[in-house]
């Protein structure tokens, strides 16, 4: 008996029912409430639910884009159950589900959870897209081969992803000495904010990317003045305007094949942080797929 007297059903941006079914939707939201390897402040497991809840308060028309991305259809899955105490099995589960969605022709948006969840989604995309490259927004190098006896610790995320696709990172401002040496030895493209802000910084980043790009966003890549709700904040990060301008430039020059948004720990900052994460997710859907009215 649901009608206009009731709040909309829970789901990312709560689109009208005709745009929310799995069969109709081009976009599928995969929430993964996982933060079992967190080593600073925990709470990212609450991030997916906070992003989805905040998204319901957004206008469906995106002023920055000039259209309504929800018209592609957006279906939100139930939260994926992590494998208790087994990070590798959790990553395998994420990869399996994301792969099934890709095989069904869906555009997959993974919401974390700690950044480790990106490994599963990135692997699923890399197995299906030849020549895929990865753009990472992150304050930390995440290039340890192992940390605290695990190759699937959050500190190893970009190391694991780099094994299946080349990584270009923007926002780097924290690295352990051996990570930094590994980055230099392998010639990885890492851009601290001050380097990215140099003339032609965005163009140089884009030139490093292949035709098809997977984007992984650890929200601590954003400056803590705008994104305090993360477990490991670092000063001197990217700001909203320059981040969305970079993403828009990538979308205009390359094809965004999928993305994740991770590391929102809602209790570590004001509610505005969840809203920023939701708006970033919605904006990136719109940038990746374009204007649904022009398809």
For the beta carbon of residue 104, count every other beta carbon within 10 angstroms: 11
* Average pLDDT over the chain, rounded to an integer: 94
Measured CA to CA, the distance from residue 233 to residue 281 in angstroms comes to 20
User: Which residue is listed with tokens 């020549």?
Assistant: 131
Residues 203-212 have pLDDT tens digits of 999 999 999 9
Q: What is the pLDDT of residues 233-250, one digit of tens each?
A: 999 999 999 999 999 999
What pLDDT, on a 0 to 100 scale, did the predictor assign at position 241? Answer: 97
My answer on whether omega of the bond before 171 falls inside 30° of 0, hence cis, is no
Residues in the chain: 295
Q: Which of 271, 284, 286 is nearest to 243 (CA)?
A: 284
171, 217 in Cβ contact below 8 A? no
pLDDT at 6 over 90: no
Mean pLDDT, residues 66-85: 94
Spacing of C-alpha 22 from chain mean position: 21
Q: Are 166 and 134 in contact (CB under 8 A)?
A: yes
18-54 tens-digit pLDDT: 999 999 999 999 999 999 888 888 899 999 999 999 9
Domains recognised in the chain with CATH numbers: 25-290 (3.40.800.10)
Phi-psi region of 105 (alpha: psi -120 to 50; beta: other; left: phi over 0): left
- Strands 167-170 and 133-137 come out as parallel
Q: Which residues contact 49 (CB under 8 A, 6 or more apart)?
A: 31, 33, 79
**pLDDT of 286 higher than 80:** yes
C-alpha dihedral sign at 140, 256, 124, 23? positive
């Amino acid at each position: 008996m649901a009608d206009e007297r009731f709040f909309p059903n829970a789901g990312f941006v709560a689109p009208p029912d005709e745009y929310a079914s799995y069969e109709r939707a081009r976009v599928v939201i995969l929430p993964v409430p996982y933060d079992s390897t967190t080593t600073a402040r925990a709470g990212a497991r609450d991030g997916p639910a906070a992003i989805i809840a905040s998204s319901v308060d957004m206008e469906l028309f995106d002023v920055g884009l000039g259209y309504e991305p929800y018209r592609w259809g957006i279906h939100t899955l139930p939260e994926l159950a992590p494998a208790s105490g087994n990070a590798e099995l959790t990553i395998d589960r994420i990869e399996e589900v994301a792969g099934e969605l890709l095989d069904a022709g869906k555009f997959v948006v993974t919401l974390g959870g700690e950044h480790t969840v990106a490994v599963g989604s990135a692997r699923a995309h890399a197995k299906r897209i030849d020549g895929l490259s990865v753009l990472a927004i992150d304050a930390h190098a995440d290039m340890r081969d192992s940390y605290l006896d695990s190759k699937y610790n959050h500190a190893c995320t970009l190391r694991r992803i780099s094994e299946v696709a080349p990584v270009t990172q923007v926002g780097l401002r924290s690295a352990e000495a051996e990570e930094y040496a590994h980055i230099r030895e392998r010639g990885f493209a890492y851009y601290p904010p001050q380097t990215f802000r140099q003339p032609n910084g965005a163009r140089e980043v884009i030139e490093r990317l292949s035709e098809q790009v997977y984007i992984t966003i650890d929200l601590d890549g954003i400056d803590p003045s705008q994104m305090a709700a993360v477990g490991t904040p670092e000063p001197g990060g990217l700001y909203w305007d320059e981040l969305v301008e970079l993403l828009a430039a990538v979308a205009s020059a390359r094809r965004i094949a999928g993305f994740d948004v991770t590391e929102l720990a809602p209790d570590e900052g004001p509610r505005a942080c969840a809203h920023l994460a939701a708006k970033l997710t919605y904006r990136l859907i719109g940038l990746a797929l374009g204007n649904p009215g022009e398809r």
